[in-house]
Structure 1
Amino acid sequence: MIVQGKVAFIGLGVMGGPMAGHLLSAGNRLAVFNRTRSRAESWLEEQGNRGRSAEIAATPALAAQGAEIVITCVGNDEDLREVTLGADGAFSAIEPGALFIDHTTVSANRARELGAAAGEQGFMTLDAPVSGGQAGAVSGKLAVMCGGTGEAFERARPVMGAYGARIVHVGACGAGQTAKMANQMCIAGILQGLSEAIRLTVAAGLDTDKVLEAISGGAAQSWQMENRWPTMVKDEFDFGFAVDWMRKDLGYALEEADRLGLESPVTAMVDKFYAEIQQTGGGRLDTSSLIRRLPRGNT
C-alpha cells in the first residue's frame, strides 16, 4: 500500500532495515531514524534509486513530524521507551489522527503504556511484533501478530502487507506482544526437544538425514525441525535469531505469565539453559545452539 503522505520508520537493524526497504519498494515516502546514524546512511545507500524517496532524520521526533504512520522496530523495552517517550521521542511529534505501529518485541506492559499515552494524545497504536527472523524480513514474508483496536488494525494491515505474509489481529492493546511470547515459548520447547532427539539419533548411530526424512512427515514436524535439524547436526549456529534476543523475549514471557498467576516450568528451564550458552560466549549464536550444552553420548 502506498500511504498518501509521509511514513516514519525508526530502527534500521537486521529486521527493521529490510522492512523499511519493502515500504520504499511499495512506493512510500519515508523519513527514517536510527540511533547509529552510520547505519542509517548505509541503509540509504543500499536502497539505490529507491533511496530518493527517503530522508534521514536527526531524531525520532523529527522523523515522526508530519507523518501519517510512524513505525518502530528497535531492541527492547528501554529502547522503545527512549525513541517514543524519551527526549526527542516520536510521541512528542505524532499528530492526532496518525497511527503508531510497533514491531519491537517488548513486554505487554510497555505496549499498554504506549497505548495509554497515545490515547491521551489522540492517535492510534498497534503493538505488532513479528516472527520469521531476518530471512522473513528480507523476503517480506513475516508473520505479524497485532494488538489494538479493530480500526487501527484495518488501517495498518495494508501497510504491513509490504513485509508481512500472515497478519492477524489477536486482541486489544498488548495482545500482540502476548501472542509473540507464546510464539517464543513454543520455539524454546521445540528446540530443546530437537536437541535431545538429535543427540539420541547420533548416539544410536543412525543416519540423521534419514531420521529427519522419516519423522518430519509426521506429527513431530515443525519449522524448527525442517530448518534447524540439518545445521544442528553440523554444529552450525553462526546465523539466525540470537540467544541474547531469545533470553530477552523469554524474560518478557515469564514476567507476563507470573502476572497472570501461571507457572511456565519448561520455559523457565530452557531459559536457564540459554543462560548457560551465554556464559560460554554463545550469546550471538542462533537459538538452535541449545544443543551444545548436551553431551554427545557414547559415540
Structure 2
Amino acid sequence: MAKVAFIGLGVMGYPMAGHLKARGGHELTVYNRTAAKAEQWVKQHGGTAAPTPKAAAAGCDFVFACVGNDDDLRAVTTGPDGAFHGMKKGAIFIDNTTASANVARELKAAADKLGIGFLDAPVSGGQAGAENGALTVMVGGDPETYARAEPVIKAYAKMVGLMGPSGAGQLTKMVNQICIAGLLQGLSEGIHMAMKAGLDVEKVIGVISKGAAQSWQMENRWKTMSEGKFDFGFAVDWMRKDLSICLDEARSNGAHLPVTALVDQFYSDIQSMGGNRWDTSSLIARLQR
C-alpha cells in the first residue's frame, strides 16, 4: 500500500482513482477543480479531498493526474498551487493526460530539478476501459522510475508498457489516435456503402469481422453506427484535441498525415452538426445527411 494522490476526476480520472483505492488498496487523496466532484468521490470511495494539487500531493509516494490539456497540466504541476511544490523527494508523478510530447519533456526536466520522478502515461480504452479498470497505458520516462510505478498503475490497466524516454508515451498515444481516426472513417464508409447497397448490415459485419477487416471498433460500434446512436463513448471534442496534438507534432517532425488531417476536418463537420459530445464513431452521420 502506498500514499497516492489523484488530480482530475473527470470521466476518466474518477473511475481510475476508484480502482487505485479499491483494487490497489492505496491511501487516496483527491483533488478536482470543481470541489463538489472531489467530495462526491470521497463519499463514494473514502479517502480525503484536498483544496489544491499541492495539498493533495503533500507526503505522497505517487501522484497521478488526468486533466484536459497542456495548460491544465502545467497549472496542476508547476503552477502556484501545483503538485510539484508539495511532492517529497523521490516521489513519482504519473501523468495520464493526453498532452503533447513537448510538455512531457518540459515537466520531466522540472521534476528532475526537484528530485522527483515523472512519467508521461496517456491511456487508451475510453470511459468503459476506465470504469472496468482495463485501460492500455503507454509510458515514457526512466526505466527505474517506471519499474517503481508499474505495479501501482496496474490497478486500472490491462496493459502497461514503457515505450521509451520522456515524451515517448505521448508520441505512442498520437499513433494510437491516428490509427483510430482512419479506421473509423473507413468503417463509416463501409457501413454506409452496405446500407446504400441494400445489404443486411448485421450479416455483412458477421462475415467480414471474422476476416482481415476485423477491429475493436467494428465489433463494438457497428450496431450503434448503423442505428445512428452516438450519445456515449469518446467525445468528438476530445478526439479533435488529440488530433490537433498529432498534427502539431507532425509539423515539427516531418511526418506526413494526409488522412488524419482530412478526418480531423470531417470531425469539424460533426461539431457543426451539434455532435461535439457524440462518440467518435459518429463520422458516419455526415455521410447520411
**What TM-score bracket applies, with the shorter chain setting the length?**
over 0.9
Match for residue 225 of structure 2 among 219, 227, 232: 232
Specify the code of the residue in structure 2 equivalent to 1:252: I
Match for residue 155 of structure 1 among 133, 137, 148: 148
What SS does the corresponding residue of 1:284 show, helix, strand or coil?
A: coil
State the number of aligned residues: 288
Specify the code of the residue in structure 2 equivalent to 1:129: P
User: Given the alignment of the two structures, is residue 21 of structure 1 paired with residue 18 of structure 2, yes or no?
Assistant: yes
Map of 1:36 onto structure 2: 34
Specify the code of the residue in structure 1 equivalent to 2:239: M
* Aligned 1:54-133 pairs, distance under 5 A: 54-133=47-126
Specify the code of the residue in structure 2 equivalent to 1:32: V
Specify the code of the residue in structure 2 equivalent to 1:21: G
Specify the code of the residue in structure 1 equivalent to 2:245: Y
Deviation at 1:133, TM superposition (A): 0.6
User: Given the alignment of the two structures, is residue 202 of structure 1 paired with residue 200 of structure 2, yes or no?
Assistant: no
Query: What's the CA shift string for 1:30-70, capped at 9, x where partnerless?
Result: 111000001111112222xxx1xx10000000001111111
Deviation at 1:19, TM superposition (A): 0.7
What SS does the corresponding residue of 1:95 show, helix, strand or coil?
A: coil
Distance 1:256 1:122 in 2: 29
Query: What's the CA shift string for 1:102-130, capped at 9, x where partnerless?
Result: 00000111111100100111111110000
Moved more, 238-247 or 12-21: 12-21
Query: What's the CA shift string for 1:155-174, capped at 9, x where partnerless?
Result: 11100110010001110000
Specify the code of the residue in structure 2 equivalent to 1:43: W
Deviation at 1:261, TM superposition (A): 1.1
Q: Which runs of 5+ in 1 are unaligned?
A: none
Specify the code of the residue in structure 2 equivalent to 1:237: F
Deviation at 1:75, TM superposition (A): 1.1
Map of 1:221 onto structure 2: 214
What SS does the corresponding residue of 2:158 show, helix, strand or coil?
A: strand
Please give the root-mean-square deviation of Cα atoms over the aligned residues, in Å: 0.9
Map of 1:274 onto structure 2: 267
Deviation at 1:143, TM superposition (A): 0.3
* Aligned 1:159-174 pairs, distance under 5 A: 159-174=152-167
Distance 2:259 2:76 in 1: 34
Distance 2:145 2:225 in 1: 41
Query: What's the CA shift string for 1:274-293, capped at 9, x where partnerless?
Result: 01111221110000011111
User: Given the alignment of the two structures, is residue 7 of structure 1 paired with residue 4 of structure 2, yes or no?
Assistant: yes
Distance 1:275 1:81 in 2: 27
What SS does the corresponding residue of 2:138 show, helix, strand or coil?
A: strand
Query: What's the CA shift string for 1:161-204, capped at 9, x where partnerless?
Result: 10010001110000000000000000000000011001100011
Identity of aligned residues (%): 60
Runs of 4+ residues deviating >2 angstroms: none
Deviation at 1:295, TM superposition (A): 3.5
Distance 1:256 1:140 in 2: 30
Specify the code of the residue in structure 1 equivalent to 2:17: A
Q: Which runs of 5+ in 2 are unaligned?
A: none
